[in-house]
Structure 1
Amino acid sequence: MARKATRIKTNTFSVRYQTRDEVEVAIKEIGDLQRKLEAKVIEQNNRLAEITEEYAPQMNEIKAELEPIQAAVQAWCESHRDELTNNGKTKTGNFNTGDVQWRQRPPSVSVRGADSVIENLHTLGLTRFIRTKEEVNKEAMLNEPELASMVAGVTIKTGIEDFVITPFEQDVS
């Protein structure tokens, strides 16, 4: 199975090897080390999957045991809410072993079919509910770098050179 070669990008660096042969050996070594790293990532993921598989049934058992107890505590507390919250003056009920709380979630909006919602908002004249996002057009700045670089806060970077090493795939057997 042919895989896409992994590329390594780095900033250019001062030369350490003295001969072409040394560089060829180094590139081979980079490829070997990359394959070792990939093998370790696979090994790690396999072990994580094994651990997850081992603990999932135990955790599900505990959750199943926990749910009816939580539901029963909630039911009792709901029926005694006035007593626990001092007739609604607090949102917390205190017990010797812990507290129960009633918390109001903040309001939220969910939108399904954003395009159709936007169309409906336009139709109803509710454009105040539509956000128009302004952002810097970097492509246009790259087309006119001299003018764009005059703007405070804008820097146009050019001439940055990356050095890329792409070792050939070798059979690891």
Structure 2
Amino acid sequence: MSATTFTDDTACAEAIARIGAIRADLARIETTKTKAVAKAAATAEEKASPLQEEEAGLVAAVEAYCARERKRLTDNGKSKTAEFKTGKVAWRKGQAKLLIDPTLEDKILDRLKKLQGFTKTTVAIDKSAVKTSLTDDKASPLKRIKGLSIEEPKETFSVTPTGAELTPRKDL
């Protein structure tokens, strides 16, 4: 990046026009990239699909075989893993999951509140309300709380070129 200094409005206007042209080129490059990525993804998915189907079929067949032979493979349940020459299979019990009937959730919650220890309440600072109080209310009691302050917004600078058309370029 070169440090350029402008001496008049014309030079600055030309730079803004160039910024517009660069942004248009970048947009075209991004569009080309997105199309190439989508095409590559479609090709990869097309190649992967038959392998995924074959794998799923083999896993189902191995599972069916091992289910039939489970007693022998696990030494009558003493093991949860069976070793083969090319790999191993394992049976693992997942964790229990709590199911709550959505039509009864309010009633269940009321009953659990009475039992204590089975509900939780989250308390958080309402940043919007605190900000409003600190900025709008001169006598806000929140102004006496140490650690609360308002950060003034930072000024930003932007360049918005006009007339930068997204016409195709042959060199991109």
TM-score (norm 1): 0.70
- The residue aligned with 2:91 is 102
In the alignment, the residues of structure 2 paired with residue 166 and residue 112 of structure 1 have an alpha-carbon distance, to the nearest angstrom, of 54
Letter in 2 for 1:170: A
- Cα 1:79–1:150 change in 2 (3 A) is same
- The residue aligned with 2:42 is 53
- The residue aligned with 1:166 is 160
Percent identity of equivalent pairs: 24
- Cα 1:45–1:87 change in 2 (3 A) is same
Question: Contact conserved, 1:149 with 1:156, CA < 8 A, in 2?
Answer: no
Letter in 1 for 2:76: N
In the alignment, the residues of structure 1 paired with residue 124 and residue 144 of structure 2 have an alpha-carbon distance, to the nearest angstrom, of 17
2:111 to 104, 125, 147: 125
- Deviations 1:64-113, CA, capped at 9 Å, x for gaps: 22222211111111122233233333322111100111222234457796
Question: Contact conserved, 2:28 with 2:166, CA < 8 A, in 1?
Answer: no
- The residue aligned with 1:30 is 19
1:135, distance to aligned residue in structure 2 (A): 1.7
- Cα 1:98–1:30 change in 2 (3 A) is same
* Unmatched tracts of structure 1, length 5 or more: 1-14
Letter in 2 for 1:50: K
Higher strand proportion: 1
Letter in 2 for 1:151: K
Structure showing greater relative contact order (alpha-carbon pairs closer than 8 Å, 6 or more residues apart): 1
In the alignment, the residues of structure 2 paired with residue 46 and residue 58 of structure 1 have an alpha-carbon distance, to the nearest angstrom, of 18
Coordinate RMSD, CA, aligned: 3.1
Give aligned pairs, total. 155
- The residue aligned with 2:170 is none
- The residue aligned with 1:71 is 60
Question: Contact conserved, 1:149 with 1:155, CA < 8 A, in 2?
Answer: no
Question: Contact conserved, 1:121 with 1:129, CA < 8 A, in 2?
Answer: no
Compare CA radii of gyration and give the structure with the larger one.
Answer: 2
Residue 151, structure 1, aligned to residue 140, structure 2: no
- Cα 1:27–1:129 change in 2 (3 A) is farther
* Unmatched tracts of structure 2, length 5 or more: 168-172
Question: Contact conserved, 1:91 with 1:101, CA < 8 A, in 2?
Answer: yes
Question: Contact conserved, 2:81 with 2:91, CA < 8 A, in 1?
Answer: yes
- Deviations 1:3-39, CA, capped at 9 Å, x for gaps: xxxxxxxxxxxx9544323332222222222222221
TM-score (norm 2): 0.70
In the alignment, the residues of structure 2 paired with residue 18 and residue 85 of structure 1 have an alpha-carbon distance, to the nearest angstrom, of 84
